[in-house]
Amino acid sequence: MKKFISLLLVAALVFAFAGCGSKDGGDAADVKSEGVMTYEEYVAAALDSEVVIETYVQAKQSWWDNQATVYTQDKDGGYFLYNMACSEEDYAKLTQGTKIKVTGYKAEWSGEVEIIDATFEIEDGNYVAKAEDVTSLLGTDELIAHQNKFVAFKGMTVEAAGQDADGNDVAFLYSWDGSGQDGDDLYFNVSLNGETYTFTVESYLCDNTTDVYNAVKSLNIGDTVDMEGFLYWYEGVNPHITSVTVK
Amino acid sequence: MKKKVRAVLLTVLAAACGFVLAGCHGSKGLEAFVMPEEFDSAREYEITFWAKNDTNKTQTAIYEQAIADFEKLYPNITVNLRLYTDYGKIYNDVITNIATGTTPNVCITYPDHIATYLTGTNIVVPLEELAADEAYGLGGNKVLFDSPSVTEIIPQFLEECSFGGHYYALPYMRSTEACYINKTYVEALGYTLPKELTWDFIWEVSEAAMAQDESGNYLVNGQKVLIPFIYKSTDNMMIQMLHQKDAGYSTEDGDIYLFNDTTKELLLTIAEHGKTGAFSTFKISSYPANLLNAGQCIFAIDSTAGATWMGTNAPLLDISEDKVVEFETVVMKIPQFEPENPKMISQGPSLCIFNKNDSQEVLASWLFMQYLLTNEVQIAYSETEGYVPVTLKAQQSAEYQNYLARCGEDNGLHYEVKIKAAELLLNNVENTFVTPVFNGSASLRDAAGGLIENTVKSVRRGQEINDAYLEKLYADTMSLYRLDQLAGQNSSTSSGKADLGKLPKTSVILLAALIGAWVLITLYVVCSRVKKEKK
């Protein structure tokens, strides 16, 4: 009897963990509800067409005037939700991993594919994406297929972002050309295999109180860094970095 | 990378509408500013200056230099600079800070925005007394720098800062809109640019440019992407189109006429070209300069203050260099309905002073504000973009005239497109106009742009744009921008024209009884007189 009870408990534990795994996403398939597009169908949808997707909140950029801008992702790809209708109360509920069903229009602004004029409802489910290493895809045409995903870049070298008023090279700039101040977006350059890319700390996503903002302000030219962030696009790849580790 | 501006542009609405409607009624407010007899130079002052730059580090450097030079003259005044990259964010932050009593001292802003700030009590300082003061006024004898006199400010620009019976601002820089044209493509399509652009010409060329080959490449640029005509500021687009057609928009008293039949006609035309893809907007697609420079646009309308971003050799670039296409750039007036009678908007930053309990602090702010009108600042700042100095003193100076004369000498300071954009305004000041300023005019401006943005988005999504659509759009827009609630907000706005509906029954009975009583009284008096006469 004791053996039976022990087996029963083990079995129960196994099922319980399996259940948790399914809730977290794990390897379980991301089955869409009826009338909801798969990521593949979303990619195939024409610009300006109505889209209905189910996705999971990964990070929130901003809320104002009952509109939220949110980075989301399902198990197949990323979706950037720009100025989605959202009350302040609902915005508080959009914690990392929250599953939402979104109805809106597919649009493209300066190369960034996004969903605009959207509404959403919260559903049961939770998934937090792990950063996918796309370092080797930098400079290739394949990178854009990962647009809006949470990604990682490893072993890149910090290059000069510009010059200060005295003409000295600096590792980062406030605003794209150094015309900004503390609290504005940070721009910094990192290179790999001789190619240089501009990465950004988007101040609405990570303001000047965050670790990443201060880590970038502490960078030195020549540092080797690992980074994570969202694969945003603006006239080319322009990742919104959320963490930087100097190696 | 100017993307942040897009995010902010769309966030202005709520704060503005809320403030417009609520104002500061009930709040105690500040005492009105009283001009001190003397500036107390024995005291230390710390003032804040909220400034706007066009994401241009030269402009930031000029502000910093101006502050350093001013502080040398007035070592007891410290100026703290806070930079913004768009007017909308300044507007939002000012409104937020009015509520907490933490407004800046000096602020770059638009008159439309000041009209909203004025709903509070003594929030913004009227400038007449300060400007006219013999010692510290414009050109005053105790001012420690070469300040312009009031007659040296371009009268038209100064007048734009007068509303509500006072001068609440001074102009800082002026610009207008220009059409930046890829002449190479226009000619490749078989057209010749006319002396004056018309809307018909732009629409015709833009539609002609939409021809594609079997692979989907546009014939004119050989690329998969082409938006022949793109407009940055659709509120300006609608306002200027209506003004050119002498159609209604608003009155000085705040009466709103935007939602009229001419607006509908214009929206139907815009929808027609939005549907084919020949026309789009900044909010829908991208920055006009990016598309123009990549050879993906033929007509880009943007501020003259955006000229340094325009053209193959533009000193400022927001796309990778390998994407830039070689073409000849021409700067022209915005298209017109009556080219012989051109009309274009006057815009650009103005300066205002926020009131404080300490009148000496206000006077210190005023001195700094005046300093921004000196030749040193005016000429340096205007040369960063297609801006025009606001004083005759600066415009007529040898330094500025030399700058203009060297147009096209290099692709930096003397970049041809930039100087031609500035000259466009210098040569057309008499053809410029501004819209009436009143509490709510900023919301009305947003609504004007919203009509175009929504129409173009809808038609791209396959919706039919017809009378029913436009009626609904009118109603939705009025409601969204709370324009339906503005009637009566400006004291003289409604002029008694507001439709208050039918009188209640009790009022009708009361009025009828009063009229009846007066009739009976009159009859009684008449009868009494007749009786008297008979006697």
Interface residue A187 vs chain B (CB under 8 A) = yes
H helices of chain A, in order, are 2-24, 39-44, 88-93, 211-217
Least confident of B128-142, B472-486, B505-519: B505-519
Residue B124: strand, helix, or coil: strand
Test B55 with A175 for CB contact under 8 angstroms.
yes
The CATH T-level fold of domain B4-175+347-424 is D-Maltodextrin-Binding Protein; domain 2 (3.40.190)
| CATH homologous superfamily for the domain B177-344+434-485 | Periplasmic binding protein-like II (3.40.190.10)
Cross-chain Cβ contact A200/B318 below 8 Å: no
The whole-number pLDDT of residue B11 equals 46
Residue contact A110–B290, C-beta within 8 A: yes
Residue appearing with tokens 């009268």: B155
Domains A39-126 and A132-246 share a fold: yes
Nearest to B143 by CA among B46, B73, B40: B73
Cβ–Cβ gap B1/A50 under 8 Å? no
- Chain A residues in contact with B289 by the CB 8 A cut-off are none
User: Which residue in chain B is spatially nearest to A51 when comparing CA positions?
Assistant: B461
Measured CA to CA, the distance from residue B452 to residue A12 in angstroms comes to: 61
> How far A184 CA sits from the closest chain B CA (Å)?
9
Q: Report how far apart, in Å, the C-alpha atoms of B180 and of each of A67, B70, B170, B434 are.
A: 33, 37, 29, 22
Interface contact A177-B10, CB threshold 8 A:
no
Fold classification of A132-246 is OB fold (Dihydrolipoamide Acetyltransferase, E2P) (2.40.50)
* pLDDT value, residue A139: 94
CA atoms within a 13 Å half-sphere pointing along the CA-CB vector of A35: 5
Of B1, B15, B461, the CB nearest to A234: B1
Instruction: Provide the 8-state DSSP code for B484.
Output: G
Strand order in the sheet with B299-303: B279-281, B229-231, B299-303, B177-182, B329-333
ipTM of this predicted structure: 0.87
* Domain positions in chain B: 4-175+347-424, 177-344+434-485, 504-535
Distance from CA of A76 to the nearest CA of B (A): 26
Residues of A in contact with B290 (CB under 8 A): 110, 235
Residue A44 CB neighbour total at 10 angstroms: 9
Inter-chain CB proximity B13 and A65 less than 8 Å: yes
**Which pLDDT tens digit goes with each residue over B265-286?**
999 999 999 999 999 999 999 9
Q: Which residues of chain B does A117 touch, with a Cβ-Cβ cutoff of 8 Å? A: 457
**Which residues on B lie below 8 Å from A200 (Cβ)?**
1
CB neighbour class for A169 (10 Å; exposed up to 12, middle 13-18, buried from 19)? exposed
Measure B3 CA to nearest chain A CA, in Å. 8
CB B291 within 8 A of CB B230: yes
Given A69, A178, A236, which is nearest B57 (Cβ)? A178
pLDDT bin (cut points 50, 70, 90) of residue B491 is very low
Residue B138 has a pLDDT of 97
| Six token digits for residue B193 | 């640019």
- pLDDT the model gives residue A161: 97
Least CA distance to A65: which residue of chain B? B14
Q: Do the first three CATH levels of B4-175+347-424 and B177-344+434-485 match, i.e. the same topology?
A: yes
Mean pLDDT for the stretch of residues A53-63: 97
Each domain of chain A, given as residue ranges in start order, spans 39-126, 132-246
Nearest-angstrom CA–CA distance, B386 and B49: 23
The pLDDT tens digits for B230-267 are 999 999 999 999 999 999 999 999 999 999 999 999 99
Whether B11 sits inside 8 A of A64 (CB atoms) is: yes
Evaluate whether the domain defined by A39-126 bears CATH number 3.40.50.1970: no
Q: Which pLDDT belongs to residue B484?
A: 84
Confidence of residue B488 (pLDDT cuts 50, 70, 90): low
Q: Cβ(B204)–Cβ(B378) under 8 Å?
A: no
CA B460, chain centre distance (Å): 28
Mutation site for B-interface testing, chosen from A47, A51, A65 by largest number of B Cβ within 10 Å:
A65
Q: Which of B6, B7, B53 sits opposite A179 (nearest CB)?
A: B53
Amino acid at B503: L
Chain A residue closest to B14 (CA)? A65
In chain B, which residues touch A (CB < 8 A)? Answer: 1-4, 6-7, 10-11, 13-15, 53, 55-57, 59-61, 82-83, 85, 284-287, 290, 316, 318-320, 323, 457, 460-462
pLDDT of residue A2 exceeding 70: no
Q: Which amino acid is at A24?
A: D
For residue A117, report the phi and psi dihedrals to the nearest 5 degrees.
50, 45
Looking at residue B54, its pLDDT comes to 79
**Which residue of A lies nearest to B13 if distances are taken between CA atoms?**
A65
Residue of B nearest to A105 (CA): B461
What is the overall mean pLDDT for chain B?
A: 90
Which runs of E-coded beta strand occur in B25-176? 45-52, 77-84, 106-109, 162-163, 166-167, 170-171, 173-174
Q: CA B227: distance to chain centroid? A: 25
pLDDT tens readout for residues B370-425 = 999 999 999 999 999 999 999 999 999 999 999 999 999 999 999 999 999 999 99
Is the distance from CB of B188 to CB of B295 less than 8 angstroms? Answer: no
> Cβ of A110 and B15 within 8 Å?
no
Which pLDDT tens digit goes with each residue over B47-93?
999 999 877 889 999 999 999 999 999 999 999 999 998 888 899 99
- A91 CB near a chain B CB, below 8 Å? no
